[in-house]
Chains A and B, each alone.
Chain A
Amino acid sequence: MLQAVLSKIDAAQEESLEKLFDLVKFQTIATDPAFHPECTACAAWLKAYLESFGAKASLHKTMGQPVLIGRWNEGETKLPHVLFYGHYDVQPVDPLNLWASPPFAPRIGVTARGNKAVFGRGSADDKGQLLTFLEAVRAWINVHGTLPFRLTVLLEGDEEGNSEVLDAFLKEQGAKLKADIAMICDTEMWDDRTPAITTSLRGCISEDVVVTGPRIDLHSGYFGGPARNPLKALAAMIAKLHDAKGKVTVPGFYNGVKPVSKAKLAGWKALKLTEKKMLSGVGLKVSAGEQPYSLPEQLWARPTLEVNGFWGGYMGVGSKTVLPAKAQAKFSMRLVEGQNPLKVRKAFRAYMKAILPADCTISFKSHAGDSSGIAVAEKNPWIAEAAAALKDEWGVKTALVGSGVSIPVVESFRKHQKMESLLVGFARHDDAAHSPNEKYDLESFHRGTRSWARLFGRIAKEMKS
C-alpha cells in the first residue's frame, strides 16, 4: 500500500517542484501592507490546490491575512483526526543586495556544502516544509483515492508577524478545530542524516528596565565619589542575577520547572552534543550556562535570563567625564514548561526592586508577545509512530530534541483546542530561514514528502489492526 505511494512521489518529483516554485513566487510578506494582495492571491492559489485533490476548502477572514481550511473525510468520525498546520507568509527580504538571485524568482542551485537546493524566500520557511505534507497527501489520494484518516489542513498568513491574529482565530473556532493531533512542519532535522521530532519549546518574555540616579548628568570631577552612578547600579544588579554556577538568583524564578525524565535525558545524551560542536562556530569554547546541566538541558529544559541590550552615558568617540542620570537595559527570559510568564515577570520586577541601590529609581516596560514554554507529553502515541516512520525513511534513529525557540501556535492549540502538537521538520541548519539566499535542500523536500507518506502508512496499518 505504502510502496505504491512512495513510487508515485518519486515519479512526480518534477511536478512537486513546480508546485513549490509556483508557491514561492507569491511575495507573501505579511508584515508589509504593500504585499497583502499577494497574500490573498496566495491563499486563493492554495485553496484551488487543495481542492484539486479533493479538499472541501474555505477561506476565513481574520484581523490579518486569510486563513485557509481544507477538510478530507469530514463525516468519518471513526477515523483518527489529524490537523496539519503551516504558514504561507514569509520574512521580509532585506538586505536585498545580499541575495544572489531575486528572492521571489525560485531557482535550483547548489549550496555551499554541495547540495542541490531550491533558492528563494520561503523555500524552507515554510512553503517548502508545508508542501512536503500536502504533496504526500496528494500522492496518497492519487494512488488510493482516499486518506486513511480524517484531515483538516490549516494554513495561515501571519506567522512571521503578529501571532495574535491566529490566536484570536483559534480562540473563536474553539472545539470546531479540535483534532486528535496537530502536525506541524516548521522545524529542523538534527543533522543531514538524522531526522528529528521537537518535543519541547521554550517560551519567552521580555522586559525593558530604566535605572535613574541623579536628576541630570553630572561632572565626574565635581560629583565623582558621592554621586550615585546608575550605570554602576544597573551593572551591579545584572551581576547579581546569576550565581557563580550560572543559576538565576531571582526568588521564585524556577517555580514550576520540572526535572527532565530519565528516558528523555538518555535520548539527549545519545545526541552527543558537545561544546565544540555547538560553540566553536561562534567563537566560544565553554558553556556559560547553568551547572551541572548538560548542554541539551541548558538549551531545551532550563529557563534563562539574558541581557539583550545595555546603554547609558557617553558612547561617542573619546572620553567624557560624565556621571549619567540614566542607565537602561533590555532583558529577555526563555521559559520552560511549568513556568508562568506573569509570575516570572512579577518575580523579576520584585527582585530588581529589592536589589536596587539607595538613591536610585527603577521603571519597567513589558512588550506584548509573552509565550510559555511547552513540553509535549512523551507518552503521546503519535510521537512513537512518527519516530518510527522517520527512521524507516532515513535509516537513522529519530532524535527527540527540544528547541530554544518558541512556536506560538503550539501554545494556542493547547489553550483553545486542548490539542497536542507533533513537530516534524526537514529544514537544515544552513537554510538561512530569515536571511538572504534562503534555500531548501531537494533532499529535504523529496524525502520529507516520503517521510509523511510513511507516517500515513503507519496510520493505515493501525486502522486495519
Chain B
Amino acid sequence: MNLNNVVERAEAGWNKSLERLFELLRIPSISTDPAYSGACDDAAHWLVKELQAIGFDASSRKTPGRPMVVAHYTPKDATAKTPHALFYGHYDVQPVDPLDLWHTQPFEPVLKKGADGVERIYGRGTADDKGQLMTFVEAARAWIDATGSLPIKATFLIEGEEESGSPSLIPFLKENKDELSCDIAMICDSGMWDAKTPAITTRLRGLVHEEVQIEGPSIDLHSGMYGGPATNPIRALSQLVAALHDGNGKVTIPGFYDGVSKVSPAIKKQWASLKFSEKKFLGSVGLKSAAGEKGFTALEQIWARPTAEVNGMWGGYTGAGTKTVIPSKAHAKFTFRLVGKQNPQKILKAFQAFAKKHLMKDAKISFSGKGGGSPATEIAENNPYILKSAAALKAEWGRETMLVGSGGSIPIVRSFKDILGMDSVLVGFGLDDDAIHSPNEKYNLTSFQRGIKSWVRIIGALAG
C-alpha cells in the first residue's frame, strides 16, 4: 500500500466528492420538525446507497425516531489483530429560521469565492455535520478506489437525531452493543484550532445539576409587620451562593476538587503556545477580565477546571412597582462542570451537605434535582490512537496538532465509553466562523478537501 497513491486519488476525485456532498446537502433533513421526517429517511437512504456503492455492508435501521445508518467494512485479509474503528457523524441538520437572513437558499448549496480569495460552501449542514461526515466517507472511497480495500475494519454509525437530543441513540447502542463495539471511535463533529492548525479534542467537562428551594416563613409576610425578626429565604439563598466561592474564585465545598488532575507541563506548554487571547474571548461578550479561579489561564479554567454555577435564581415579588413582602420561598438552579475523575454523585452529596451547613438558622432547604449527571471525559495524551491521529494530522497540515479541551459536554463520547467501552478521538475541520446553527452556515473548501486527505492519512496511520 502506498499512502501517497491514496492521497493523490482523493485529490483527483475532489470535484466528484463535492458533487456528492451537494446531493446530500440538498436533502432538507431537519430532525426536530416532523414535517421533514421524510427528508430524513431520504438522507439515510442516500447514505446507504453511497456506502453500498463503495463496498460497505450498509443498512438503514429503524428507531422510534429517525433512522440510523450502520455500515461495516471488513478487508478480505483482515485478522483478529486488524484494528477496528467506528466512525460517527450525523446526517440531520438544524432548522433554518430565520430564513430571511440567508443570502442563499439553505438547501441549495453553492460554492463561492470570497473577497479574501477563500472558497466556501454555503448551505445548511455544510459544516454541521454533512460536510464533516463526508470527509471520512470520501476518504474510505479513495482508499478502496486506490488500493482495492480499506487497511482497517471500519464501522460507520451515522445518526439522524443529533440536533434533537439523540433520543434513540442510547437504546440503539445498548441493543446493538456487539455489532457496534470497536477498538476506537472516531468522531468528526468538532473544529480545528484555526484555519491552519489541526486539533484533537481530548477533554470534555462533565456535568451535574441540582435545584434548591429554601423556605423561610410558611407564608409571604408583610415586611413592615415582620421585617427584622423574619428569616428572609432570598437572603439565606444569597448567603449560600456567596459562600460557594472564596476570594480567589475557588469552590469552597469540602471535597469538591477530589479527583481533579493537574494539567501536564507538556500540555500546559502547548496551550500556552496557542496564544489564546483572553481579551478577545471575553471582549466578544462584553467582559474584560476572567472571573474564574486565580492562578489559571482562561483556557485552563474552561478546559481543565471544574465550576459551580448558578443558572437561575428567583423568589418573592418580581413584577412592576413595589411589594414590601418577605417571601416564603426562594429557588435556585445550579450546575457543576466536572473534570478528571470527579464523581457527579459525590459532588451532589458534598454540595447538599455544604448547603445544609451554610443555611441560615431558621430556614429549611430541599433539593429537587434529578440526580444523574455525567463525569468528565479525559483521553490520555499518550493514548496510541491519539498519537497516531495527531501525527497523521500533522503530516497533512504541516503543523503540530493541538490537543485541546472543550468546556461543554458531548454526550455521545460518554455513551461510547459507558455502553460500548471505547474511547473517542474527536477530529474535525470546522472553523469558529462556520455559523453552525445560524443563517449562512458554511464549510471552507479546504476543510472539506484536506479533511478528506486527513482521514486518508489517519486511516493509514491506524493500520500501521
**Does B408 have its Cβ within 8 Å of any Cβ on chain A?**
yes
Interchain CA distance A309-B226 in the complex, whole Å: 16
How many Å lie between the Cα of A258 and that of B331 in the bound state?
37
Among the 9-residue stretches A14-22, A126-134, A229-237, the one with 4 or more Cβ atoms under 8 Å from chain B is A229-237
Across the interface, do A240 and B242 meet the contact criterion of CB distance under 8 Å?
Answer: yes
Interface string of B212-246 (1 = CB under 8 A from A): 00011111011111111111101101110111110
Q: Chain B: which residue is nearest A281 at the CB level?
A: B218
Q: Which of A209-239 contact B (CB under 8 A)?
A: 213-216, 218-229, 231-232, 234-236, 238-239
- Residue contact A314 to B217, C-beta cutoff 8 Å: no
Q: Which residues of B contact A364 (CB under 8 A)?
A: none
Q: Which of A234, A288, A324, A327 interacts with B232 by CB under 8 Å?
A: A288
* Contact present for B324 and A206 (CB under 8 Å): yes
- Contact between chains at A213 and B287 (CB < 8 Å): yes
By a CB distance below 8 angstroms, the chain A residues around B282 are 226-227
Are A235 and B242 in contact, CB atoms less than 8 angstroms apart? yes
Closest Cβ–Cβ distance, residue A464 to chain B (whole Å)? 42
With A226-B302, A308-B223, A404-B226 in contact, do A214 and B286 touch (Cβ < 8 Å)? yes
Does B288 interact with chain A (Cβ within 8 Å)?
yes
B98 sits at the interface (CB 8 A): no
**B205, B231, B244, B322: which has the most chain A beta carbons within 10 Å?**
B322
Q: Is the CB of B327 within 8 A of A279?
A: no
Instruction: Check if A220 sits within 8 Å of B285, measured CB to CB.
Output: no
Q: Which of A46-54, A259-267, A296-304 forms part of the interface with chain B?
A: A296-304
B42 on the A face (CB < 8 A): no
B337 interface residue per 8 A CB criterion: yes
Question: Within the assembled complex, what's the spacing in Å between the Cα atoms of A288 and B463?
Answer: 70
Is there a chain B Cβ closer than 8 Å to A270's Cβ? Answer: no
| B187 beta carbon closer than 8 Å to chain A | no
Flag if B321 contacts A309 (CB, 8 Å): no
A330 and B238 form a contact (CB under 8 A): no
Q: Which of B243, B312, B322, B323 contacts A324 (CB 8 A)?
A: B312
Q: A308 near B324 (CB under 8 angstroms)?
A: yes
Write out, one digit per residue, whether chain B residues 303-345 have a CB within 8 A of any chain A CB (1) or not (0): 0010101111111111001111111101111010100000000
Q: Is the CB of B323 within 8 A of A308?
A: yes
Q: Interface readout for B263-290 with A: 1 if CB under 8 Å, 0 if not? A: 0000000000000001001100111111
Report if A310-B310 is in contact (Cβ < 8 Å); known contacts: A232-B245, A239-B238. Answer: no
Cα A367 to Cα B321 with chains together (Å): 7
A residues less than 8 Å from B231 (CB atoms) = 284, 286, 288
Whether A275 is near chain B, meaning CB under 8 Å from some CB there, is: yes
Partner of A309, one of B229, B237, B298, B315: B315
Please, which residues of chain A bring their CB within 8 A of the CB of B409?
221
Which single member of A283, A307, A314, A358 contacts B288 (CB below 8 Å)? A358
Knowing A220-B309, A228-B291, A282-B230, the reply to whether A405 touches B285 (Cβ < 8 A) is: no
Report yes or no: A284 in contact with B230, Cβ–Cβ below 8 A.
yes
The verdict on A194 contacting chain B, using a C-beta distance below 8 Å, is no
In the complex, chain A residues 187-216 whose Cβ is within 8 Å of any chain B Cβ: 202, 204, 206, 213-216
A330 in complex: contacting residue of B229, B239, B322, B361, CB < 8 Å: B322
B400 within 8 A of A: no
Q: Smallest Cβ distance from B283 to chain A, in angstroms?
A: 10
Whether, in the assembled complex, B207 has its beta carbon less than 8 Å from a beta carbon of chain A, the answer is yes
Give Cα A307 to B322, complex, Å.
11
When distances are taken between beta carbons in the complex, the residues of chain A under 8 Å from B301 are: 225-226
A295 touches B229 (CB 8 A): yes
Is A235 a contact partner of B237 (Cβ separation < 8 A)?
yes
CB-based contact A288/B361 at 8 Å = yes
Interface extent on B, as a size class? 35 or more
A412 neighbours in B (Cβ, 8 Å): none
Residues of A within 8 A of B337 (CB): 220-221, 224-225
* Complex CA–CA separation, A328 to B316 (angstroms): 12
Contacts of B328 in A (CB 8 A): 283
Interface centre among A228, A241, A327 (most CB of B within 10 A): A228
A30 vs B157: C-alpha distance when bound (angstroms): 71
Contact with A along B50-67 (1 / 0, CB 8 A): 000000000000000000
Q: Are B287 and A306 in contact (CB under 8 A)?
A: no
CB distance from B7 to the nearest CB of A (A): 35
A282 to B324, CA, bound (A): 17
Chain B residues with CB below 8 A from A319, complex form: 209, 211, 311, 333, 335, 369
Query: Is B362 in the interface zone, CB < 8 Å from A?
Result: yes
Which A residues touch B234, using CB under 8 A?
Answer: 238, 307, 309-310, 329
CB distance from B434 to the nearest CB of A (A): 15
B324 near A284 (CB under 8 angstroms)?
Answer: no
Inter-chain contacts of B241 with A (CB < 8 A): 231-232, 235-236, 239
When the two chains form their complex, are residues A367 and B335 in contact, meaning their CB atoms are under 8 A apart? no
User: Is B451 among interface residues, defined by CB-CB distance under 8 A?
Assistant: no
A323, CB-defined interface residue at 8 Å: yes
B311 touches A323 (CB 8 A): yes
Check B330–A310 contact: CB distance below 8 A.
yes
Report yes or no: B309 in contact with A229, Cβ–Cβ below 8 A: yes
Question: Quick check: is B360 within 8 A (CB to CB) of the other chain?
Answer: yes
Contact among B313, B335, B362, B408 with A311 in the assembled complex (CB-CB below 8 Å): B313
Given contact pairs A232-B245, A235-B238, A286 touches B361 in the complex (Cβ within 8 A) = yes
Q: Does A112 contact B (CB under 8 A)?
A: no
- Is B406 part of the binding interface, using a Cβ–Cβ cutoff of 8 Å? yes
Which of A238, A290, A327 touches B228 (beta carbons < 8 Å)? A290
Q: Answer whether residue A102 sits at the interface, using C-beta atoms and an 8 A cutoff.
A: no
B199 → chain A closest CB, angstroms: 15
Decide if A406 is an interface residue (CB 8 Å cutoff).
yes
Contact B229 A320 (CB under 8 A): no
Q: Are A231 and B313 in contact (CB under 8 A)?
A: yes
Q: How far is the CB of B436 from chain A (nearest CB, A)?
A: 13
Query: Is there contact, CB below 8 Å, between B229 and A275?
Result: yes
Smallest Cβ distance from B342 to chain A, in angstroms?
A: 14
Q: Which residue of A lies closest to B296 (CB)?
A: A225
Cβ of A323 and Cβ of B291 under 8 Å apart? no
A357 within 8 A of B: yes
- A404, B325: Cα distance in complex, Å: 13
B408 near A221: Cβ-Cβ < 8 Å: yes
CB of B131 closer than 8 Å to a CB of A: no
Measured in the bound complex, the distance between the Cα atoms of B316 and A283 in whole Å is 17
The answer to whether A236 touches B311 (Cβ under 8 A) is no
Are A304 and B227 CB-contacts (below 8 A) given A225-B301, A284-B216, A310-B330? yes
Query: Which residues of A sit under 8 angstroms from B224, Cβ to Cβ?
Result: 202, 204, 334, 403-406
Asked if B92 CB lies within 8 Å of chain A CBs, one says: no
In the complex, are the beta carbons of A404 and B227 less than 8 A apart? yes
| Cβ contacts B398-409/A at 8 Å (1 or 0 each) | 000000001111
Given the interface pairs A225-B305, A231-B310, the reply to whether A289 lies near B235 with Cβ below 8 Å is no
Which of A302-345 touch B at CB < 8 Å? 302, 304, 306-315, 319-324, 327-330, 332, 334
- Report yes or no: B309 in contact with A288, Cβ–Cβ below 8 A: no
CB of B128 within 8 Å of the partner chain? no
Q: Are B316 and A313 within 8 A (Cβ)?
A: no
Q: Is there an interface contact between A288 and B229, defined as CB atoms closer than 8 Å?
A: yes
A153 vs B325: C-alpha distance in the bound complex, in angstroms?
A: 34
CA distance in complex: A370, B22 (Å)? 68
Q: Does A359 lie at the interface of the complex (its beta carbon under 8 Å from any beta carbon of B)?
A: yes
Besides the known contacts A322-B311, A359-B289, 18 further A-B residue pairs in the complex with CB atoms under 8 A apart: A216-B285, A219-B407, A220-B335, A225-B305, A225-B337, A228-B287, A229-B310, A232-B244, A235-B238, A288-B230, A307-B238, A311-B314, A312-B312, A319-B333, A330-B317, A334-B224, A334-B227, A404-B228
The 9 A-B residue pairs with the shortest CB-CB distance, nearest first, are A221-B408, A283-B218, A215-B286, A225-B301, A313-B312, A309-B316, A239-B242, A235-B241, A405-B224
CB pairs A–B below 8 angstroms (15 shown): A218-B285, A219-B407, A226-B292, A228-B287, A231-B313, A232-B242, A236-B241, A238-B234, A238-B238, A289-B229, A299-B229, A309-B325, A311-B318, A332-B227, A404-B223
